[in-house]
């Protein structure tokens, strides 16, 4: 399966904002955006002027990279959102938020979505008591996302839970740190996504 293997800090610099792809490093002064707040490459410090299409494309790339999807996955998610009732842009964000890898990240089990995908594929988490291997699984209200008994001593998981004070858990989720168990209380809403995203630009891009 195709995947991005380059520097993730380079992606943040390209989009000109923190995508929180390196976990706790993004909250320190070592963050690439804090040190070099301009696009990578020899022309990165030059003046950049985007067309309307360029602005829309950059917004799509930002969201796609933020949630760690490839183009084919992201387009399929958008197509699904466009077939749902309501606004396509908001539906897109809700589908992205409901992905299992994102929920595990939001609950504080890990410090980045990439780490969440890796640990899900390795079978460290359970959904409603059953081992889960699919990062793209869409969670529903009432579902319980836990850590397998044999995985509760994995340092990457226990360490992330110990330092999760700086990462707020959204209202539609609930975490029981001692039990290493999280519950989906409701469907996510647009106001629960506090990231700097203008989803209408993505709708306009795909509507061309």
What is the second-level CATH architecture of the domain 74-208? Answer: Roll (3.10)
Most confident stretch, 64-73, 134-143, 148-157, 188-197: 134-143
* Other Cβ atoms closer than 10 A to 179: 10
Measured distance CA(152)–CA(119) in Å, rounded:
12
Higher pLDDT, 167 or 102: 102
pLDDT of residue 37: 62
Evaluate if residue 199 carries a pLDDT over 90: yes
Confidence category of residue 163, pLDDT binned at 50, 70, 90 = confident
CA atoms within 13 A on the CB side of 70: 6
Average pLDDT value for residue range 86-94:
96
Rounded to two decimals, the pTM is 0.83
Confidence category of residue 88, pLDDT binned at 50, 70, 90 = very high
pLDDT of residue 161: 87
Reference 134, options 147, 119, 144; nearest CA is 119
| φ and ψ at residue 125, rounded to 5 degrees | -120, 160
Average pLDDT value for residue range 144-172:
87
Average pLDDT value for residue range 86-90:
95
Strand order in the sheet with 173-176: 130-131, 125-127, 144-147, 181-184, 173-176
Most confident stretch, 8-17, 33-42, 60-69, 86-95: 86-95
pLDDT of residue 119: 95
pLDDT of residue 1: 47
Evaluate if residue 3 carries a pLDDT over 70: no
- Which tokens hold the place of 31? 């963050």
CA distances from 196 to 63, 79, 118, 130 (A): 9, 22, 26, 35
Reading phi first (left if > 0) and then psi (alpha if -120 to 50, else beta), residue 83 is in alpha
Give the domain ranges of the chain: 74-208
Query: Mean pLDDT score of the chain, rounded to an integer?
Result: 84
- Which tokens hold the place of 192? 């629960």
Angle at CA of residue 24, ends 21 and 27, nearest 5°:
90
CA 14 to chain centre: 17
Evaluate if residue 44 carries a pLDDT over 60: no
Measured distance CA(53)–CA(18) in Å, rounded:
22
Find residue 176's DSSP bridge partners.
181
- Which tokens hold the place of 77? 């998610």
pLDDT of residue 174: 95
């Amino acid at each position: 399966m195709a995947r991005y293997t380059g520097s993730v800090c380079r992606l943040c610099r390209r989009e000109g904002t923190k995508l929180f792809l390196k976990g706790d490093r993004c909250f320190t002064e070592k963050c690439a955006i804090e040190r070099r707040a301009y696009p990578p490459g020899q022309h990165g410090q030059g003046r950049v002027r985007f067309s309307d299409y360029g602005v829309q494309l950059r917004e799509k790339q930002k969201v796609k990279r933020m949630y760690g999807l490839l183009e084919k996955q992201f387009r399929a998610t958008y197509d699904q959102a466009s077939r749902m009732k309501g606004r396509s842009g908001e539906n897109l964000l809700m589908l992205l938020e409901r992905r299992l890898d994102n929920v595990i990240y939001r609950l504080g089990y890990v410090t980045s979505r990439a780490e969440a995908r890796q640990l899900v594929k390795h079978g460290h988490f359970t959904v409603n008591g059953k081992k889960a291997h699919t990062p793209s699984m869409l969670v529903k209200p009432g579902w319980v996302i836990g850590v397998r008994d044999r995985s509760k001593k994995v340092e990457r998981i226990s360490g992330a839970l110990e330092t999760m004070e700086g990462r707020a858990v959204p209202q539609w989720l609930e975490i029981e740190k001692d039990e290493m168990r999280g519950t989906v209380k409701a469907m996510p809403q647009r106001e629960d996504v506090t990231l700097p995203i203008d989803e209408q630009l993505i709708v306009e891009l795909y509507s061309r």
